[in-house]
Structures are given as structure tokens and as C-alpha cells.
Homo-oligomer: A and B are copies of this chain.
């Protein structure tokens, strides 16, 4: 089993933190090139052209960070990072999904539509050029503002994003916030609950892998 990785990228980071929290080690294959693009040999092997990707010993390629975590959670249930019973699993999945669609995807939209390095790469995983849309900048900043606000409210009532236990919902939320910093966004000062939580989860050893 091995993981195809672009170590600096936000989606692979979700998996790195997950692995560190679990205490799992899997060999990594770096596929990010010096030109800030995925290496052509990787894209030829895996046309979805995204990272991370877990290749099993039978050759099966599992993409999408959360699908990889789902696989590993079945093999290594402790400590549980995806919920412990029906209700808890649903709450974790709900908040992870919000962190992804309202945080990660918004931060990605802003980055990909502003970074000079990503000119013509306005969306991930496309072989065709996707021009940047400057019109998206205002909207994606508004999305991020809503994301900070929503998660601040949730963390006013909960130690962690999905309740009293650290889960993958915290991992995706942390990666979304740090991805926002790539375009100079940050948690607003008034979001005191989110700032308290951010400080705590950033201090875990897993946050620096």
C-alpha cells in the first residue's frame, strides 16, 4: 500500500493529519513537480489527476481524502475519528461535509482564481485549461466569511467541531482555515470560539506533519 502525495497541498494534508492522529505509517510517493503541477507520469497513471491517492497492493486506486480515511478507519478503528455510533457518525459526516464544501472548496476557489501560478487552472483535475474568473473573488471571500462565522457558532457550544471528541471534521476545518491563509485570509478577531479551537488543534503534534 502506498500514498501518492503532493505534500504541500491542502487535500493531502487532511490525510497526513489523519494518519498522524491514528499513528499509521504508509509509504509516500511525491508527485508534485517543481513546476507546481502534478508530474505527467502520475497524471498518465491516474487520469483523475488529483491527490492524495491510495494505491492498494492489488492495484486498486482510491482517490478523495475522505474515501481513503474511510478505508483506513475500517482497518484501524482506534482512536475513532469518524464517529462511534449511528448518530455520532452522522454528526461527524455532516460537519466534515460542511467544512469541505463551505470551507475547503471556498478557499480553493479563491486561491485558484487569484494565484498567478494557477493561471488556466481555475478548477482541479482538468486536462483542459480553465481560465481564472476574477468575478469569483468577492463571492469566495463571502463564502469564507460565512464559514468562519458558522463554525465559530458551533464551537461556542462544543469543544470540537462535531462535539466533545476530536474527529475528521476538525481535520478538514483546520485544513480549510490554513488554506485560507494562502490568500491572506484569517479567522476574524471576533470569532473567539473558533480562535480558541484553532489554537488547540494547531498545537497537536498531528498539525505539523
A90 to B63 alpha-carbon distance, docked (Å)? 9
Binds B, one of A18-26, A133-141, A194-202: A133-141
Q: Which residues of B contact A105 (CB under 8 A)?
A: 101, 105
Which of B71, B93, B133, B135 interacts with A64 by CB under 8 Å? Answer: B93
- Distance in Å from the Cβ of A55 to the closest Cβ of chain B? 12
Q: Classify the secondary structure of A's interface with B.
A: helix
Asked if B71 contacts A89 (CB within 8 A), the reply is yes
What's the interface size class on A, roughly?
A: 35 or more
Residue A29 at the B interface, CB < 8 A? no
Chain B residue, CB-CB nearest to A122: B139
Asked if B64 contacts A74 (CB within 8 A), the reply is no
Asked if B60 contacts A91 (CB within 8 A), the reply is yes
**CB-CB contacts below 8 Å: A117-152 with B:** 122-123, 125-126, 128, 130-131, 133, 135-136, 139, 142-143, 146, 150
